[in-house]
């Protein structure tokens, strides 16, 4: 996990509509950047829907919410539409941003294959692009409320 006080790594990834988005697009706003394992799974759906329900409150506090996973643009589009998510989802199937933000861990499966898993992690990035809060192994259901509290 990246350290608080460090500059957030820049990135350019496609969103759920295939539009390339960069961290710089949100300069001047607080960014709640959350990394999650997989679209349509129970924990990830709970987390995303919580952020969606609270999104107006995030906007009132001058923050945007951005979710990132290794899923595809098409998967993100289905996920967004099914759950009416009002925020941006970024596709990182090459896992470059996941690596840059140190949320990808490797391990061996029971069959001896190398597996890469995303550790559910959330960063709060300030208007200048500096990480001001970092939370690893967050609880999916509680993450949105936790991050809203960090904006107080």
Q: What is the CATH number of the domain that holds 80?
A: 3.40.30.10
Q: Which residues are catalytic?
A: 44
The answer to whether position 41 is within a domain reads: yes
Number of domains in the chain: 1
The answer to whether position 106 is within a domain reads: yes
Q: How far from 24 is each of 9, 19, 79, 146, CA to CA, in Å?
A: 10, 14, 25, 25
E strand or H helix that includes residue 99 = helix 96-100
In the three-class reduction of DSSP (H, G, I as helix; E, B as strand; rest coil), residue 149 is classed as: helix
Domain span at residue 59 reads 12-150
In the three-class reduction of DSSP (H, G, I as helix; E, B as strand; rest coil), residue 112 is classed as: coil
From the CA atom positions of the chain, what is the Rg in Å?
Answer: 15
Per-residue confidence (pLDDT) for residue 36, from 0 to 100:
97
Per-residue confidence (pLDDT) for residue 107, from 0 to 100:
77
The answer to whether position 90 is within a domain reads: yes
The answer to whether position 5 is within a domain reads: no
Its pTM stands at 0.94
In the sheet where 121-125 sits, what is the strand order? 88-91, 63-69, 30-35, 121-125, 131-136
The answer to whether position 3 is within a domain reads: no
Ranges under pLDDT 70 in the chain: none
The answer to whether position 78 is within a domain reads: yes
């Amino acid at each position: 996990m990246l350290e608080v006080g460090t500059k957030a790594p820049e990135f350019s990834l496609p969103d759920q509509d295939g539009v390339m988005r960069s961290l710089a697009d949100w300069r001047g706003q607080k960014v709640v950047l959350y990394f999650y394992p997989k679209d349509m799974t129970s924990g990830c759906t709970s987390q995303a829907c919580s952020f969606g329900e609270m999104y107006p409150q995030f906007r009132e506090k001058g923050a945007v919410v951005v979710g990132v996973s290794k899923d595809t643009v098409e998967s993100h589009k289905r996920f967004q539409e099914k759950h009416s998510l009002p925020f941006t989802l970024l596709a990182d199937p090459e896992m470059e941003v996941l690596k840059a933000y140190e949320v990808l861990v490797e391990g061996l499966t029971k069959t001896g294959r190398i597996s890469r898993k995303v550790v559910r992690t959330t960063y709060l990035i300030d208007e200048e692009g500096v990480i001001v809060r970092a939370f690893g192994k967050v609880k999916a259901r509680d993450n949105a409320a936790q991050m809203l509290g960090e904006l107080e």
